Homo-oligomer: A and B are copies of this chain.
């Protein structure tokens, strides 16, 4: 690759490149939870490649940034077998068949933090790993919370930890805060409040 090809473009200069064609796809490995697909691709320049990716089962997923009446985000501390450690992160879960993403968001909030939300503000659909995984997750800010619990499927009770959203940098600097999508969602939520409802230092700024 020449250096010339690396000169940065203006934003949006080439927003619609020609997608590669998928000539074939098949499942190459499967377990209870994971399905690996192999795809035979041909790029618009004629280059052919075989890629593997994780298929995404199910009906989508949701992640919530629940904000209480004191401007604190309600985090959960849960064990992640992937990283073999406890982590402080946001409530999230899979969308059940027949549920809207808003219904899933409220159900997961009730299961994981024992609260429902009268207000859900949609922030973003995020991908996990665009090159290797199909999965995406819809992110909401949840406000105007009320007490309501539903039984979850956790092996042990989730601890709920309140943290002032205006001290986000301190939170993110913690070693037990690691999940990329949660960090992204927290910053997006903080930015949304700053842009839409004034200073997060004021409790009133996030009330209805």
Q: Which residues of A contact B (CB under 8 A)?
A: 1-3, 5-11, 13-15, 17, 19-20, 22, 28-34, 36, 38-39, 41, 43-45, 47, 49, 51-54, 68, 72, 74, 77-87, 89, 111, 113-115, 124-137, 147, 149, 151-152, 155-157, 159-163, 168-169, 171-173, 176, 178-181, 183-185, 187-188, 191, 195
- Complex Cα gap A79–B41 (Å): 11
Q: In the assembled complex, which residues on chain B have CB atoms less than 8 Å from the CB atom of A126?
A: 178-180, 183
Query: Which B residue's beta carbon lies closest to that of A41?
Result: B81
B82 touches A129 (CB 8 A): yes
B162 touches A11 (CB 8 A): yes
A176 touches B3 (CB 8 A): no
Query: Which B residue's beta carbon lies closest to that of A49?
Result: B155
Q: In the assembled complex, which residues on chain B have CB atoms less than 8 Å from the CB atom of A179?
A: 126-130
B178 touches A181 (CB 8 A): no
